[in-house]
Every structure is written in C-alpha cells, then in structure tokens.
Amino acid sequence: MAHKTPGEPAGPGTAEETKAAPERARPGRRGLPLALNAVSVALGIALWWGLAAAGFKLPTPPEVVSRAGTLIGDGTLGQDALASLTRVLIGFALGTAVAVPVGFLMGWYGLLRGLIEPWVQFFRTIPPLAIIPLAVVVMGIDETPKIFVIFLAAFLACVISTFQGVVSVDRTLINAARVLGAKDATIFARVVVPASTPFILVGMRVGLGSAWATLVAAELIAAQQGLGYRMQNAQLYYDLPTIFVGLISIGILGLLMDRVLLLAERKLTGWQERR
C-alpha cells in the first residue's frame, strides 16, 4: 500500500470524506432559497409601490399596513381570519379524507373505476362556484353550504391525483411482489401506497389552493364573518386598503399551509431523488 508523505497533495479522499462534503455544503444551500424569497418579496413590494406612485388605483403599502393595524387592533382581522381558516380546514380535511380512498379504489379496481370515474370527470367540468345556488337551496344558508363547496373543490383536485398515482405504479414492482408470494393487501400497503404518496401530496397541495380559491365565493352565502366577506363588504365602499388586507391575509395563510404540506412531503418521500 502506498503511503502519503506529509507534503503530498491530498487525493480523492475516503468514501466518508466524500459523503461528508455534501453535508457541509447543505447549510449554505438551505439558506440560499430563503435569501431569494426575501429578495423576491422586496422586489414585489417595490413594484407595487411603484405602480401606486405611477397613478394606478392601488393603495400604497403604508396605507395597507395602517389599515391592517386598525383591523388587528379592533379584533376584526383575527375574527375574520379564524372564520375563514376554520371553513377551509374543515372543507379541505373532509375533501382529502374522501378523495384518497376513492382515488385508491378507482386505481386498484377496474370495476369501481368504470362506475366512479365518469361522475368524477363530470363534476370536474363544473366549477364548484356553480354549485353554490344549488347548495343554498338544498342546505340552507348556514355553514354547511360554504364548507360543502370548499370540500368539493379539494376533493376533485385530490382524487384525480391519487388515482393517477395508483395507476402509475410500476407493474414490475407489483409483479415482483406477487412472485415473492405477497397477497393483495401486502402489495397495496408495501408497494402501492408508498409509490402513490408523492401524487397524493401533490394533489393535496393543489386541493388546498382550490379550497382557498373557492373560499371568497363561498363566503357570499350569507356570511357575517370571514376574509372573503370582509372584502365583499369593502368593495361596496371602494375601500381598497381593506381589500388588500384580505388578499394578503389569504395569501399568507395559504402559503403557510402549503409549506406545512411541503414539509410533510419531504418527510414522507425522503427516498425520492430531488434536485
């Protein structure tokens, strides 16, 4: 074995050293996206301020901040945000809870796929907002129709993604499991579910966006609280700062929820290669 003298340049290094190099570089790579996010937000605010200064009918950032302070001070913003967040969470949770098993059943059993898929595709062509008049007539004007249309938006986005995840599972993996003697239940739990998880989480993220997008229209249904209701009410008085406060609040809440799902995706799909 060749010995390395003290003055000899270092070679490629051991496997442990090679493996440790990415680990040392990782903190810097983690900090870069956060820095880019901060720069992007600053540029967005600067563009917004510039458009307002140029004469566009937009409130300036200080006006929106001042209005937000007033709404926070009197408790209005907190109550509205809580009401909207509750509706979205309930509708989204119910939609996802129904969509995942339905998507699995559609993808795994051809008979159920033939029975369910036409209805899923039919309702996908109908915007959830178009269901509002029917929901009001059938369910009344309390919280039920609001949550129902949010549920429908989340369900339709998530069920298709789950179904696609099941049918996209590599048949080689399933056949190999069968050769090894695995039963359907074992194949489903050990092969299909893990392979479909990335699709499910992507569907959940899309469904979450659909839920928030449906919220404002859902709160048209005789709501007395909520960010959408507050924005609708502010529209009557041309209160642009309040409208902007509502828009920004919805964006921030939606972004935070999406980041939670993204964190769950990284934890549950750590076996996937990422760029």
Query: What angle do helix axes 76-108 and 143-167 make, rounded to 10 degrees?
Result: 40
Distances (CA, A) of 185 to 171, 191, 193: 16, 10, 11
**Distant-in-sequence, close-in-space partners of 31: CB < 8 Å, separation ≥ 6:** none
**Residue 124 domain-assigned?**
yes
- In this predicted structure, what is the pLDDT of residue 274? 57
Encoded amino acid at 274, one letter: R
- In this predicted structure, what is the pLDDT of residue 93? 94
Phi and psi torsions of 177, nearest 5°: -65, -40
Cβ atoms of 219 and 232 closer than 8 Å: yes
- In this predicted structure, what is the pLDDT of residue 78? 92
Task: Please report, for the domain that includes residue 192, its CATH number.
Answer: 1.10.3720.10
CB atoms within 10 A of CB 169: 19
Cβ atoms of 163 and 101 closer than 8 Å: no
Alpha-carbon distance of 275 to 272, in angstroms, equals 10
Please give the tally of structural domains in the chain: 1
Residue with tokens 């986005």: 157
**Residue 28 domain-assigned?**
no
**Residue 191 domain-assigned?**
yes
The domain in which residue 106 lies consists of 60-268
Alpha-carbon distance of 57 to 60, in angstroms, equals 10
Classify each residue of 124-157 as buried b or exposed e, where b means 16 or more C-beta atoms within 10 Å of its C-beta.
Answer: eeeebbebbeebbeebeeebebbbbbbbbbbbbb
**Residue 136 domain-assigned?**
yes
Q: What end-to-end distance do the CA atoms of the chain give, in Å? A: 39
pLDDT digits (tens, 9 = 90+) for 106-152: 888 888 888 998 998 898 888 877 888 888 888 887 888 889 999 99
**Residue 101 domain-assigned?**
yes
**Residue 22 domain-assigned?**
no
List of the chain residues with pLDDT < 50: 1-25
Cβ atoms of 169 and 195 closer than 8 Å: yes
Alpha-carbon distance of 273 to 199, in angstroms, equals 15
Half-sphere exposure of 205 (CA within 13 A, CB side): 15
Cβ atoms of 165 and 191 closer than 8 Å: no
- In this predicted structure, what is the pLDDT of residue 216? 82
- In this predicted structure, what is the pLDDT of residue 23? 46
**Residue 2 domain-assigned?**
no
Q: What is the DSSP letter of 129?
A: G
**Residue 260 domain-assigned?**
yes
